[in-house]
Chain A
Amino acid sequence: MPPSAPEALERDADVEIDAAAVRCVGAWTVGSIATLEGRLSRLAWPSDRELVIDASGVVAMDTAGAWLLRRTMQALEREGRTVRVEGLRSEHRALADLLATPAVAAAVAGQPATPGWLARLGRAAVQTVTQSLEMLSFVGEASLVALRSIARPARIRWRPILYNVRTAGFDALPISGLLCFLMGIVIAYQGATQLRRYGANIFVADLVGLAMLRELSPLLTAIIVAGRSGSAYAAQIGTMKVTEEVDALRTVGIAPIELLVLPKIAALAIALPLLTVYADVLGVAGGMVMAKTELDVGYEDFLDRLQYALRLSDFLVGIGKAPVFAAIIALVGCFQGFQVVGDAESVGHRTTVSVVQSIFLVIVADAAFSVVFNAIGI
């Protein structure tokens, strides 16, 4: 124990009460008052209206100990007694006096109460509504800036667009390809048991082709990109907000949306459809491999059947959804990035929210597409 901590050798803080007097003894320091603090409320104080506490046995005192003494005195005074402390060493007396000042009393009394559940519920509801409105205004602002930038194509920033196409698109090729390949295998495998029962082995091509091209490739690719790139957008813009880089952009006369948001939307709108095509190919390939091993449908037969099973519209329906998903992912990611206030904690929170929200919205949009396509019969 360091020599500066002589209290370690002293006994813990205590209050001794007997017929003659009330005595405070021991080290009234932060490490030695825990036991006393726990049982202070149960102490049997003498019933005298005037109480004299003999503190000459206090060997050490810090602010925590002084506060314990002060607070005990307050509790006794609230019961209508007058309390006097005697024998305190001068340096401890100074500390005790300091804690008796109105400023300290105000600070302790001024601790705000934690809000009740109704207040929290109301706050959460208001927050959700304002969030939605802000998202709407963000989309509006981004659209305006986009229109302005299309009107003056010289201002379009090609370099960040190309950079984002590479990081969000090209760099995602291995993971999205592998995932869709596996998905093709899974679908073919699940279908195989059913189809074999009816001797309809060849229809595995219909199953895999339609499922992958219309639904699964665009959806899976969008989900991967939301996790890979949407979160990165939120984190990047969020960090730039914390370090005031976003404000710095404004002061040098660059609209943050033009530099940080538009290239990302444009890049994703290019990259996601391309990724989807690539995912289509690998998904079908996965199905083909499984069809050969499980159902004895050869590659040639499979591809032959695929031509009959798929119309051009099936392919276009899948690809057509991708730009919409891209816009959702980029907008949500960037919006959540701009929502960051203050510190690192907020960046983490907003990044998580961006991924959850964009995946949710992508699936909602996909469902809406299904309804619409069904209604118009494609």
Chain B
Amino acid sequence: MLSASSAPVVASADTVIEVCDVRTRFGTAVVHDGVSLGVRRGEIFALAGASGCGKSTLLREIILLQRPESGSIRVFGKDVIGLSDEEALPLRRHWGVMFERGALFGALTVAENVGLPLREHTRLGDRFIDEIAAVKIALTGLPPSAGARHPAELSGGMRKRAALARAIALDPSLLFLDEPTAGLDPLSASGFDDLVRHLKDLLGLTILMITHDLDLLWRVADRVAFMVDGRIAGVGTMQELAGSELPLIREYFHGPRGRGAREQAWKRR
């Protein structure tokens, strides 16, 4: 199904995130010119598009770090725009965010980073929290020794995994990933693909990710929204998008790199 850019999203109980006609401007630069999309429960939804097309800004608006000029954003059926910090807390406890560069706290070790949300939001004992942190670190595929190290001592790939471990610390039902594979070597990146799939199945997550990694799009995403110049140019599975007639999408998916990624994905599946 390829929907037009501003078609209203059909609301249903199974829609976790609903973005409706969002418009954003920085000064005179229009970032979002009526963006609408819906993310269903239990799917991995990817937001793709060229750099600077407004993907990250949309993510920041959904997770309450920024306010759009107009439009509505509903997460778990609740309108998030203009929520106070206090009202937003229950929502924030139910989602985890992994930032592009990890955003791990440099003063804390990896284990402390992962344990921080637990210490902040639960009344669990210190030892139990340490153990859960160790479990989460193991789930993301890091070696046990990583927990005691500071983020600055980790490689880029390990830092991404540590950031993911912190994002799932509170067992969220919704996970946001901002460029999860950016800056990783192909091997680490494909390891990350598997990890995301695995965690999603295991923890029953709904995932919204931003990426322009074609491998990730082909192999992991259930549905993809393609953003061009602040509008959603198309939504659908990668198959559907690849068959799209829109020149910009064609260019994106049928360039030399796009074809390679597709062939790889076919071989693996």
Interaction A to B:
yes
> Is A38 engaged at the interface, CB distance under 8 Å to the other chain?
yes
CB under 8 Å from chain B, chain A span 203-238 = none
Given contacts A63-B139, A95-B202, A111-B147, 4 further A-B contacts (CB under 8 A): A5-B90, A67-B128, A109-B144, A110-B134
Instruction: Using CB atoms, name the residue of chain B closest to A34.
Output: B123
Min CB distance B14 to A, Å, is: 9
Known contacts A4-B94, A34-B124, A68-B128: does B144 contact A107 (CB below 8 Å)?
A: yes
Task: Determine which of A31, A38, A110 lies in contact with B144 in the assembled complex, contact meaning CB atoms within 8 Å.
Answer: A110
Q: Which of B132, B145, B150, B170 contacts A342 (CB 8 A)?
A: B150
For the complex, is A79 an interface residue (Cβ under 8 Å from B)? no
A239 at the interface (CB under 8 A from B): no
Is the pair A343, B122 in contact by a Cβ cutoff of 8 Å? no
Contact yes or no, B135 A1, CB < 8 A = no
A240 beta carbon closer than 8 Å to chain B: no
Query: Nearest chain A CB to B44's CB is how many angstroms away?
Result: 16
B residues within 8 Å of A by Cβ? 13, 16, 41, 75-78, 90-91, 93-94, 106-107, 111, 118, 121-125, 128, 130-132, 134-139, 144-145, 147-148, 150-153, 168, 170-171, 173-174, 202-204, 206
CB–CB B144/A111 < 8 A: yes
Please state if A342 and B153 are interface contacts (CB–CB under 8 Å).
yes
Looking at A33, A35, A343, A344, the one whose CB has the most chain B CB atoms below 10 A away is A343
A258 to chain B, nearest CB (A): 27
A3 to B94, CA, bound (A): 11
Give the complex CA separation of A333 and B137 in angstroms. 38
Contact A2 B91 (CB under 8 A): yes
* A17 CB-CB contact with B under 8 Å: no
How far is A130 from B168 in the complex, measured between Cα atoms in Å? 40
Nearest-CB residue, chain A, relative to B117: A30
Which of A98-106, A159-167, A296-304, A324-332 contacts its partner?
A98-106
Could you list some 30 contacts between A and B, CB below 8 A?
A: A2-B77, A2-B90, A2-B91, A3-B13, A4-B41, A4-B174, A5-B76, A30-B122, A30-B124, A37-B125, A62-B203, A63-B132, A63-B135, A63-B139, A68-B128, A98-B202, A103-B138, A104-B134, A106-B138, A108-B138, A110-B134, A110-B144, A110-B147, A111-B130, A111-B147, A111-B148, A343-B106, A343-B152, A345-B106, A346-B106
* Minimum distance in angstroms from B149 CB to a CB of chain A: 10
Q: Taking CB as reference atom, which chain B residue is nearest A8?
A: B90
User: Within the complex, which residue of B124, B131, B151 is in contact with A33, where a contact is CB–CB below 8 Å?
Assistant: B124
The answer for the CA separation of A95 and B139 in the assembled complex, in Å, is: 11
In-complex Cβ contact of A63 among B13, B125, B130, B171 (8 A): B171
Whether a CB of chain B sits under 8 angstroms from the CB of A94 is yes
A199: interface (CB < 8 Å): no
- Among A37, A104, A112, point to the contact of B124 (Cβ < 8 A): A37
Q: How far is the CA of A5 from the CA of B145 in the complex (A)?
A: 34
A94–B204 Cα distance when bound, in Å, is: 12
Q: Tell me if B135 and A31 are in contact (CB < 8 A).
A: no
Question: Which residues of A are found within 8 Å of B118, using beta-carbon distances?
Answer: 30, 64
Distance in angstroms between the alpha carbons of A214 and B136 in the assembled complex: 64
Chain A to chain B: the 7 pairs with minimum beta-carbon distance, closest first: A342-B152, A2-B76, A110-B144, A343-B106, A107-B138, A62-B171, A34-B123
A5, A34, A91, A111: the one contacting B134 at CB < 8 Å is A111
By beta carbon, the residue of chain A nearest B206 is A4
- Is A292 close to B, CB under 8 A? no
Whether A104 and B135, one on each chain, are in contact in the complex, defined by CB atoms closer than 8 angstroms, is yes
8 Å CB contacts to B: which residues of A24-50? 29-31, 33-35, 37-38
**Closest Cβ–Cβ distance, residue B195 to chain A (whole Å):** 13
- Whether the Cβ atoms of B171 and A29 lie closer than 8 Å is yes
Asked whether A71 is an interface residue with its Cβ less than 8 Å from the other chain, the reply is yes
Provide the A136-159 mask, 1 if CB < 8 A to any CB of B, else 0. 000000000000000000000000
Contacts of A4 in B (CB 8 A): 16, 41, 76, 94, 173-174, 206
In this assembly, does A341 line the interface, its C-beta being within 8 Å of a C-beta of chain B? yes
Q: Which residues of B contact A30 (CB under 8 A)?
A: 118, 122, 124, 132, 170-171
Specify the chain A residue showing the minimal Cβ separation from B198: A98
Measured CA separation A344–B174 after assembly (Å): 30
* Alpha-carbon separation in the docked complex, A104 to B165 (Å): 14
Residues of A within 8 A of B203 (CB): 62-63, 95
Which residue of A is nearest B93, CB measured?
Answer: A31
- Distance to closest chain B CB from A221 (angstroms): 34
Q: How far is the CA of A98 from the CA of B76 in the complex (A)?
A: 28
Cross-chain contact of B90 among A1, A29, A37, A99 (Cβ < 8 A): A1
A2–B90 Cα distance when bound, in Å, is 8
User: Contacts A33-B124, A95-B202 hold; do A343 and B151 have CB atoms under 8 A apart?
Assistant: yes
